[in-house]
């Protein structure tokens, strides 16, 4: 059995969260950082989103990953340290670890303590020979990862779920560049990409009939009220998610339902009725756009697998 490793806690402080929120609300147009969706309740709601009938991405990715794992394992080889950005529940991770040969260590980098601790506990029980190296941190910043006790031959970064699409183009290139620095000369990154498709299908996925996605979006305000002392009125804002075809992405915002003023720290922010706060983008991709994005970060597309409907892809990226 692999030895247990203490959790490395690099979670953002309330002061840093406050500074980012004030920066976003002071901007025109206003925005809030989507990474703060994931407190315990946000993580629970996101898992519920993945089970809604309109949101097929997670089920499609799991099916695809299971089908192509032998090809992935052959491409990346044995003896790896697997590093995952945004581990969530660990459902996909368990499938990946089971399909790879002689995994040395698993290092999840996750901003939600509850999600991280729960997934690592499950995976540790399922894979007792794999050293668990959990890191509680914002993976959008370069993080020094703990080294496994048994040296790994190479690194595989696992970034599923099309989470890369939640970042602007420049941010996505920067994040891929952080991955590139981890890989060394022969490592790989396995990344999920939600492909561009019928706008009606896309909008339904982010506006489920049960209202789970709306509750998830509004929970961001609840978390900010609790952790930084803001006074957002959750009844005064509404979830909105629309497909912007010219930018090939879903744009999610919180829309003020009336004229109101919100206090954040020592600041007051006045909102007009109908004024929106941008909270998340969900970029959609083509194979060509993925290849171009990777190239900007010094990576090349070494493998590409899609589901039968060409709605989702797994891309294997390697240093160029």
Domain range list for the chain: 57-197+284-319
Across the chain, mean pLDDT equals: 94
Pairing of strands 276-283, 249-256: antiparallel
Is omega for the bond preceding 29 within 30 degrees of 0, making it cis? yes
pLDDT in tens, 112-134: 888 889 899 999 999 999 999 99
CA distances from 290 to 30, 155, 280, 315 (A): 28, 21, 20, 8
Residue tagged 């891929």 (tokens): 176
How sure is the predictor about 1, in pLDDT bands with cuts at 50, 70 and 90? low
- For the segment 134-192, what is each residue's pLDDT rounded down to a tens digit? 998 888 888 888 999 999 999 999 999 999 999 999 999 999 999 999 999 999 999 99
Alpha helices in 101-246 (DSSP H): 113-126, 169-183, 199-205, 212-228
Share of the chain above pLDDT 70, in %: 96
**What pTM was computed for the model?**
0.92
Nearest to 245 by CA among 194, 203, 292, 276: 203
Look up residue 195 and give its DSSP letter: B
Q: What is the token pair recorded at 257?
A: 């339902």
CATH architecture of 57-197+284-319: 3-Layer(aba) Sandwich (3.40)
Name the nearest CA neighbour of 312 among 36, 48, 13, 58: 58
CB neighbourhood size of 292 (10 A): 14
């Amino acid at each position: 059995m692999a030895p247990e490793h203490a959790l490395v806690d690099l979670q953002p402080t309330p002061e840093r969260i406050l500074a980012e929120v004030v920066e976003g609300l002071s901007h025109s147009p206003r925005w809030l950082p989507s990474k703060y969706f994931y407190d315990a309740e946000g993580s629970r709601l996101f898992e519920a989103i993945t089970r809604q009938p309109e949101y097929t991405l997670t089920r499609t990715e799991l099916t695809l990953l299971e089908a192509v794992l032998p090809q992935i394992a052959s491409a990346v080889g044995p003896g790896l340290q697997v590093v995952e950005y945004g581990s969530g529940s660990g459902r996909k991770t368990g499938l990946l670890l089971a399909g790879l040969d002689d995994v040395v260590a698993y290092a999840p980098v996750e901003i939600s303590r509850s999600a991280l601790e729960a997934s690592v506990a499950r995976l540790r029980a399922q894979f007792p020979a794999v050293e668990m190296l959990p890191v509680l941190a914002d993976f959008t910043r370069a993080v020094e990862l703990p080294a496994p006790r048994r040296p790994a031959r190479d690194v595989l970064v696992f970034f599923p779920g099309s989470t890369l699409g939640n970042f602007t183009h420049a941010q996505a290139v920067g994040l891929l560049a952080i991955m590139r620095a981890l890989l060394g000369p022969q490592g790989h990154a396995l990344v999920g990409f939600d492909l561009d498709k019928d706008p009606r299908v896309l909008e339904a996925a982010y506006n489920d009939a049960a209202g789970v996605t709306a509750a998830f979006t509004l929970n961001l305000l609840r978390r900010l009220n609790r952790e930084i002392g803001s006074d957002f009125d959750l009844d005064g804002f509404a979830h909105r998610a629309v497909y912007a075809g010219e930018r090939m992405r879903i744009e999610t915002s919180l829309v003020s339902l009336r004229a109101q003023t919100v206090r954040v720290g020592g600041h007051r922010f006045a909102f007009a009725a109908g004024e929106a706060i941008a909270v998340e983008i969900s970029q959609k991709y083509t194979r060509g756009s993925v290849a171009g994005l990777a190239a900007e970060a010094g990576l090349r597309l070494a493998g590409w697998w899609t589901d039968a409907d060409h709605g989702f892809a797994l891309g294997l990226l390697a240093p160029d």
